[in-house]
Amino acid sequence: MRRWAGLVWWVAATPLLPLVLPLAVHTRRTALRLSPAAGVVSGRAGDEHAGEAMRVLLLGESTVAGVGVSCLEFALAGHLARGLAGRLRRPVAWHALGENGITAGQACQRLLPLTPEPLPDLVVLVFGVNDTTGLSSSRVWLGAVGQLIDHYRRSGVRVVCTAVPPLQHFSALPWLLRQLLGWRASLLDRELRQLAEEQGAGHCSIGLPMQPQYLAIDGYHPSALGYQVWGEHLAEWLVSRN
């Protein structure tokens, strides 16, 4: 089923390549490029609560690096930590390992060795956009994410994968490119959900209506509000399945 879904996408996309490739090149050349968030890559939330801090590691692409906001306190890491601390009524210590433009396969080589000690209680994997736009094959995509999940699961760490973002809503992309990449993102996300289930990890779907104000000025990364809504949704999902 995984293989056939990917083949259908290629059958549909290949005749459109003469139109899509110039659009992709033009978009890459003219796109507004935002920098990763400045400042420290770790922090704490909920110190007003008693008890040992829950250790949370976010590992992933530009959204983990906080592209679109000024510092990681206002990105996914900070909002997730505050959301968890408020719901669990315990401190949360967060650490963000993110790199702009990285794929899951590259993260196995570059980010995995940077895992802090002691090991976290929870690892949140945030991948998919760069594997979608880079046209990673199902084999490469599933192999890389599977390696990341297995690395932490073997040590008894809880692992949760966030859904592949819906590229069909990225306003920086021309309409045709949005539709094709959005379709491909949904295929990768379907594979991700099944892989997570097979390997004992969680999979948190988007579950939220996309609004224009959730995107930063580049039309590609989350805005401060987008990160806040995403972080709160993920925290609620994690607590409901704790």
Q: Supply φ then ψ for residue 94, to 5 degrees.
A: -110, 155
User: Is 84 within 8 Å of 239 (Cβ atoms)?
Assistant: yes
Q: Please give the residue range of the domain that contains residue 227.
A: 2-240
Q: How many independent structural domains does the chain possess?
A: 1
Mean of the pLDDT values across residues 27-56?
Answer: 92
Q: Quick one: tokens of 154?
A: 């073997």
CA–CA distance from 106 to each of 99, 152, 174 (Å)?
10, 17, 27
Q: Quick one: tokens of 212?
A: 């224009």
pLDDT score recorded for residue 39 = 87
CATH code at position 176 = 3.40.50.1110
Q: Which residues contact 241 (CB under 8 A, 6 or more apart)?
A: 202
pLDDT score recorded for residue 71 = 94
pLDDT score recorded for residue 32 = 86
pLDDT band at 2 (very low <50, low <70, confident <90, very high): low
Q: What pTM does this model have? A: 0.94
Share above pLDDT 90 across residues of the chain, in percent, rounded to a whole number: 81
Closest-CA residue to 76 (of 54, 55, 109, 98): 98
Higher-confidence residue of 50 and 23: namely: 50
